[in-house]
Amino acid sequence: MSSGRLAGIARHDRPRGPIETVDEVAVTIREGIHGDYRGAMKPDGPRKRQVSLIAAEDWAAALSDLELDEDAIEWWQRRANLLVQGVALPRREGARIHIGETLVIEAVQECDPCSRMEEIRPGLKAALTPDWRGGVLGRVLVDGAIRVGDQIRIEE
């Protein structure tokens, strides 16, 4: 099992809404990331795409392709919920991502970059496309409270 750390947490309460970064948050099967609109349970059960994760190293590689410094565009502008560092995110459905003491997220698919990335910076969508650089979408399997700095473990 490989490990890294949680480097950032972000959420937004509505589509195209402003992004809020926080240092800690509760994550549940029923709600996804507390305060984030995407993770809330639908009437027919939990959403498949509750949480989005991106690796700091993949974000840096995309910015490098655009010949930008790592801090030229904040990671949360990608609209991902969690920024991980020091560990490669899984690139297959079914892998488990453990964060902190109890949270478990199941990887369900690649987070394909959308055309909104072009609104941020021309070329960003293409820079995030190769090798799952845009991140991973997941669903919550086990509730947990997480905070920036928590350990992340990947169970392939």
What is the residue extent of each domain of the chain?
2-96+107-155
Fold of 2-96+107-155: M1 Pyruvate Kinase; Domain 3 (2.40.33)
pLDDT at residue number 117: 92
Q: What is the mean pLDDT of the chain?
A: 93
pLDDT at position 1 is 65
pLDDT of residue 45: 63
Mean pLDDT computed over 126-149? 96
pLDDT tens digits, residue range 25-51?
999 999 999 999 988 767 776 677 899
Beta strand spans in the chain (E): 2-11, 20-22, 24-28, 32-33, 51-55, 82-85, 96-99, 103-110, 136-142, 144-147, 151-155
